[in-house]
Amino acid sequence: MVLRVAALVLSGFALLAPVATAQPLPTERGDARFSFHRADDGYLRLDGRSGQVSLCHRGASEWQCQLVPDERLALEAEIARLQGENAAFRKELVSRGHQPADGAGLDSPNPSPTSPKANGQRLQIPDEAELDRVMNFMEKVWRRMVEMIVGVQRDLQRRL
């Protein structure tokens, strides 16, 4: 009876061994906290949770990692400062009676006085006759340019 139980336990372990070895390592599953990349002075260590980067190098008796300055934070701070400064300049322009230009470009809610929308005009699509005139002009320009290129090629061949 004891032999049967021992045989069952051993066969159970034998069946579970391939399953245990088939499981991916933590780095294969993607939940490793740190990843290391070779650099000139040692290794770059990327913290997968916080996004911080450290430069690690071997010291006299141990490895030392120093945090690499995060330029993103400095850039975001500069953007915020410039946005605040821009808002202050816009307020100053309004207080002096000027309409500040909208930085939105073509989708500006206040069209410029020279735009067709401001004058109540609609954009006109060219008719067939205008398109024909443009196409004729472009054909003449193209022919003249090809003739000039052919002339230059002839001159170069004569000289050689």
Per-residue pLDDT tens for 56-69? 988 888 988 888 88
Please give the pLDDT value at position 107. 43
The strands making up 42-47's β-sheet, listed across from edge to edge, are 34-39, 42-47, 53-58, 63-67
- Both tokens of 144, joined, read 């003249």
Q: Name the residue ranges covered by the structural domains of the chain.
A: 30-68, 73-101
* Residue type, position 151, single letter: G
Beta carbons within 10 angstroms of residue 132's beta carbon? 11
pLDDT digits (tens, 9 = 90+) for 143-159: 999 999 999 999 999 98
Per DSSP bridges, beta strands 63-67 and 34-39 are unpaired
pLDDT digits (tens, 9 = 90+) for 73-107: 888 899 999 999 999 999 998 898 888 776 544 34
- Measure the CA dihedral 11/17/20/24, to 10°: -150
Cβ atoms 99, 113 nearer than 8 A: no
Q: Please, which pLDDT band fits residue 31 given cuts at 50, 70 and 90?
A: low
